[in-house]
Structure 1
Amino acid sequence: MTIGISGPVDLKLVACDLGKEELPETNGFPLVSHLINALLKRGYKVIAYTNSGSIDKPVVIHSHNFTVCIACTKPQPGRRFFQYEIKNLASLMQKHPADVIYAFWTYEYAWAALKSNIPTVVSIHDIAHKIFFTQCDMFRFVRLMMNNIVTSKAKHLAANSSYTFNQISKSHKKKAVIINNFFTPDLEDSIVKPAQKHNYIISVVNGFNTRKGIPLALHAFAKVHEKFPEIEYHLIGIDMEPDGLAHAYAIEHNLAKGVKFLGPLLHDHLVQLVANAKILVHPSREESFGMAVMESMVVGTAVIGGENSGFIPYLLDHGKAGVLCDIYSEDALAAAIIKLLSNDTLAAEFASYAYQYVQENFSEEVVIRKHIEVYESLASHYYPLREKKAPALEEGTY
């Protein structure tokens, strides 16, 4: 069986030889590349469908058991409802077809897969209507409309968490399964575990806005810094760079003392900084999953998250694998940080439980079995003479 993966692929993370030619710059999301690697490692043929703004004609690169098809993009795609991008992706899918396609997000990558007429599972990785209500602009309106069209047209959906599954409509639940995000076995191998935690706490967040929670977290840290003046707060991600939006806000509100604005970092460097930190503070108000939290659990750093922040309470096993608090309150968040900074033993206990919990529920080995089950079941439905029937799934209609 040849499996198609449609989404933002970071080609530098794909574990195969793509030749010596310079690869186009793509919009990468590490989980997509990790899924490709996991399938290749298990002997499947994979075709990746992605796109790039740095090419003027489609690029197709072949390697052993792996093909990547890169479509073109144009500036300001939202103004065109991504129709140019969708058309180009769908064309490549038809010219280089897989047996089934797993499409990330309910936007252009999934819409293109549906247009290709190849059996497709659309993976829901965010809650479009909730994002729109907190980031109410024209781009998010376009994304919401695309989400509604794609989820209605799709015959097969996959939610990336039980929280995401519970947010979709009753009719959509009937055609959906839950396939959690996962971490790779080499995540731990990429770090050096510190003999002693360093004197800082950390947040890994992309985007400086109320929904992501960094403005409130900065106010909370100011209270923490009064009690622990030697502790630093490190901010990683888009808008967290020196002289970026978060830094400007901190200066304007006199909150920059003790804060290091590091901005976007290479993943290995980022994970090492998280492993060295005393606490990962995750102030986001809503998460369909929470990759930064999961990675922190894997590398042994205690986590603080929101008690009502989407999947975060489930990921932290309802407070057994981390501290849950009211992240709408700077006082509550500050108190949770102070609680863990004041008790290293408690922080270590949370980190130890979290490590076991995440290994048992969100490892590559556990989650990839569900992926393969879905693909084989889909293939057996559409190609009954070629595939044996896969075991029945717990949810959905595969």
Structure 2
Amino acid sequence: MTIGVCAPVDIKMLDWELAGSDLPETHAVPLSTYFVNGLLARGFKVIVYTNSPDIAEPKVYQTEQLTVCVGRMKPQPGRRFFWFEINDMARLIKQHPADFISAFWSYEYAWAAQKSGIPMVVSLHDVALQILLNHKDMFRLVRWAMNYVVVTRASHLIANSDYTYHMLDRSTRRKSRVINNFFSPDLEQMLSPDIEKGDYIVSVLMGFSYRKNAETALKAFAQVRQKHPELEYHLVGAEMEENGLAHQYALQNGLAEGVRFLGQLPFKEVMDQIAGAKALLHPAREESFGMVLLEAMVARTAVIGGEKSGYVPTLLDKGNTGLLCDVESPESIAGAVLQLVEDDTLRARLEEKGYTFAQENYSADAIIQQHLDYYATILGKPLVPTMAGSGTKATAAWSN
């Protein structure tokens, strides 16, 4: 049985012989990458279909158990409805077909897989309409249109949370199944040993946007720092770098004092930032799941999220495993931060409760098995691994 995964995948983080080789930059998306690693560990042959902006021609990397097909990306794909990227990956799928394809996100990867005619499922990891309503621009309009086409054509869908599922229309829900996101089994081993909590809180936000709500978080931190001038606020992620959009906003509004604008970092460095923080603040107004909150819980860092922010209240067990606040209010956010900074007992209790809740509800073993069970239902037959499992084997080769 060969399973295809059409998704944004970080091919440098895959468990294969080519780890450490001179591979092109693809996508720093841990979830789909660890999903591939989970399939490999279970003995399945896997074909990854992904893409990269750093190659002039499509590339194919092959080992006995894992094949990685990398299509090309061009600048400003939204202006072209991602047609170039979709067709490049579709050609690679045709040349290297799998028995079944799991496509992550309902955009270019799923569209490319649908062109193949191979049995497949599409995993929904966001709600395109909600993103459009929070980001009213042409790019998100294009993404919403792509999502509409993909979801309409799809026969089988996976919603990554109850929140995502209930945001779908009735006809779409009828062909959907809820399977939650999961954290990597290697996540704890990835953390640097002997990390001690520093005098800072951290947010990991992909984009300075209305939905991610960094402006309100910066206003809240300014209030916190009036009482705790020793405390820092570390901002990690796209547009969070020095002189980036978040930094410019903070300078223009007198909110930059005590804030470190770290920008995008390798995943391991992101996790070390999270593990060393007194708290992770996630001010997003809407989340279909909230992976960074789950990763912080595994790293034993207390978390703060929005009481009405999509799946976040469920992920935080209605406030039992983290603090919930009104992310529209700087005062409410500041109050939650102050609780964790000033109450060591509360912080320690939430760290342990969050860790236990994550382990009991979002482990990779249980969640990946739910995916495999669903694939078997779609195909009408059991999925039989080809290899013995525990990683890839044999001599590696690659070609253009």
Q: TM-score, normalised by structure 1?
A: 0.93
The Cα shift of 1:20 comes to: 8.1
Q: Partner of 1:3 in structure 2?
A: 3
Q: Partner of 1:338 in structure 2?
A: 338
The Cα shift of 1:192 comes to: 3.9
Q: Partner of 2:204 in structure 1?
A: 204
Equivalent position SS for 1:87: helix
Distance 1:118 1:213, change over 3 A: same
Percent of paired sites with the same residue: 49
Q: How does 1:66-77 map to 2 (within 5 A)?
A: 66-77=66-77
Q: How does 1:171-320 map to 2 (within 5 A)?
A: 171-192=171-192, 194=194, 196-320=196-320
Q: Deviations over 1:73-93 (max 9, x none)?
A: 222221221122212211211
Q: How does 1:52-67 map to 2 (within 5 A)?
A: 52-67=52-67
Q: Partner of 2:169 in structure 1?
A: 169
How far, CA to CA, are the matches of 1:192 and 1:138 in structure 2? 41
How far, CA to CA, are the matches of 1:348 and 1:193 in structure 2? 19
Aligned residues: 384
Contact 1:18/1:62 (<8 A) preserved: no
Q: Partner of 1:134 in structure 2?
A: 134
Paired amino acid for 1:135: H
The Cα shift of 1:194 comes to: 4.7
Contact 1:4/1:99 (<8 A) preserved: yes
The Cα shift of 1:209 comes to: 1.7
How far, CA to CA, are the matches of 1:355 and 1:193 in structure 2? 17
Paired amino acid for 2:307: E
Distance 1:254 1:102, change over 3 A: same
Equivalent position SS for 1:357: helix
Q: Which piece of structure 1 moves more, 192-201 or 29-38?
A: 192-201
The Cα shift of 1:152 comes to: 0.4
Q: Partner of 1:18 in structure 2?
A: 18
Q: Deviations over 1:259-282 (max 9, x none)?
A: 111111111111111111111000
Contact 2:128/2:143 (<8 A) preserved: yes
Contact 1:101/1:119 (<8 A) preserved: yes
Q: Residue 365 in 1 paired to residue 371 in 2?
A: no
In the alignment, structure 2 segments of 5+ residues that lack a partner are 385-400
Equivalent position SS for 1:177: strand
Paired amino acid for 1:65: Q
Equivalent position SS for 2:218: helix
How far, CA to CA, are the matches of 1:365 and 1:54 in structure 2? 33
How far, CA to CA, are the matches of 1:197 and 1:308 in structure 2? 29
Contact 1:194/1:276 (<8 A) preserved: no
How far, CA to CA, are the matches of 1:43 and 1:379 in structure 2? 19
Q: Residue 102 in 1 paired to residue 102 in 2?
A: yes
Distance 1:198 1:284, change over 3 A: same
Q: TM-score, normalised by structure 2?
A: 0.93
The Cα shift of 1:94 comes to: 1.6
Contact 2:188/2:299 (<8 A) preserved: yes
Contact 1:125/1:159 (<8 A) preserved: yes
How far, CA to CA, are the matches of 1:71 and 1:152 in structure 2? 25
Q: Partner of 2:350 in structure 1?
A: 350
Q: Which piece of structure 1 moves more, 294-303 or 68-77?
A: 68-77
How far, CA to CA, are the matches of 1:77 and 1:173 in structure 2? 30
Contact 1:224/1:334 (<8 A) preserved: yes
Q: Partner of 2:398 in structure 1?
A: none
Q: How does 1:12-51 map to 2 (within 5 A)?
A: 12-18=12-18, 22-51=22-51
How far, CA to CA, are the matches of 1:67 and 1:198 in structure 2? 42
How far, CA to CA, are the matches of 1:284 and 1:320 in structure 2? 19
Q: Which piece of structure 1 moves more, 269-278 or 26-35?
A: 26-35
Q: Which piece of structure 1 moves more, 141-150 or 19-28?
A: 19-28
Q: Partner of 1:143 in structure 2?
A: 143
Distance 1:270 1:195, change over 3 A: closer
How far, CA to CA, are the matches of 2:28 and 2:262 in structure 1? 20
Q: Deviations over 1:25-83 (max 9, x none)?
A: 22341111111101001100100001122223221111121001112222222122112
How far, CA to CA, are the matches of 2:359 and 2:225 in structure 1? 34
Q: Which piece of structure 1 moves more, 290-299 or 333-342?
A: 333-342
The Cα shift of 1:193 comes to: 5.7
Paired amino acid for 1:36: V
Paired amino acid for 2:179: I
Contact 1:47/1:98 (<8 A) preserved: yes
How far, CA to CA, are the matches of 1:195 and 1:102 in structure 2? 37
How far, CA to CA, are the matches of 1:258 and 1:214 in structure 2? 15
How far, CA to CA, are the matches of 1:345 and 1:64 in structure 2? 51
How far, CA to CA, are the matches of 2:78 and 2:234 in structure 1? 33
